[in-house]
Amino acid sequence: MSDKNSFMVFSGTNTRYLAEKICQSLACPLGNLLITKFSDGEFAVSYEESIRGRDVFLVQSTFPNSDNLMELLLMIDAAKRASAKSINAVIPYFGWARQDRKDKPRVSIGAKLVADLLGVAGIDRLITMDLHADQIQGFFDVPVDHLYASGVILPYLQSLKLDDIVIASPDVGGSKRANTYAKYLGCPLVLCNKTRARANVVESMQIIGDVKGKNVVIIDDMVDTAGTITKAADIMKNAGAKSVRACASHCVMSGPASERVQDSALEEIVFTDSIPYSSRCAKVKQLSVADMFAETIRRVLDNESISSQYLV
């Protein structure tokens, strides 16, 4: 691997827990960054050590609130002005990604706006995981290394040694992702067809496929209010499923999500640690993606292939 003195890893406030694990895996120290907060909510970023001529990796998920995104933008700007050799944004959870197209008149495309902000701020590369829509990679004019949570979720599913396993997608939009899991595990695929009354509110849902006597695993990219995934689990359990569990990349889990999961038919719900989860819910399990991101950073520094570490 490249000389440890040639690169440095820094973290924003709310993703420090993951950056520390990434640094542990890379056997390097976490860089010293100071974020000064003013009484009106504004804040300033300063690097407390020289980064001139270094490859800098900035670890920060852009989950709500917007301070996380603003922190990252200021970190990028400060690194650019401090003469960093390259600025690599490591964004395990890329927020605002659900706004990836105009799905009705007069709406913003938030994902493109954030891509533009990061580009103008001065990133040379983006390393992220399980974007809400793959085409968001094309919103950037810099290289994008798009990782997949399947690298940690699939080995976990295999370790459960479940018989009669069925992979399910909670909506038609996620069928491609779920189909990839089903192919890898060599098992059937079941779809849920849902209609929404409005954002975060599911009106009705039907199962397409057979779940009777099966151990069902619902695959999704994120769980926000958990309305869709818990409704799907309850319907599948009523349809005769032996067990229902869910796996998702990003643990957004906002509002009543934890209570919904606890009260649902789900045996467990498995996430990565791309977003911190502080609520207490016995059914939630988090798998770390720190080693996966650390390995990607190693390969970027050594100019090696990233794709060879993908399972699917």
Q: What are the catalytic residues?
A: 194
Q: Where are the strands (E) in the chain, listed by range?
A: 7-11, 33-37, 43-47, 55-59, 86-91, 125-129, 144-147, 165-169, 189-198, 201-208, 215-223, 243-251, 269-272, 284-287
292: CB partners within 8 A, 6+ apart: 129, 147, 151, 152, 309
Helix segments in 174-219, DSSP class H: 175-185
SS3 101: coil
Contacts 24+ apart (CB under 8 A), 111-120: 111/136, 111/139, 112/139, 114/62, 114/69, 115/139, 115/140, 117/69, 117/73, 118/72, 118/73, 118/76, 118/89
Residues 121, 116, 128: CA angle, nearest 5 degrees = 85
CA atoms within 13 A on the CB side of 305: 4
Helix segments in the chain, DSSP class H: 16-26, 67-81, 110-121, 150-160, 175-185, 227-238, 257-263, 290-301
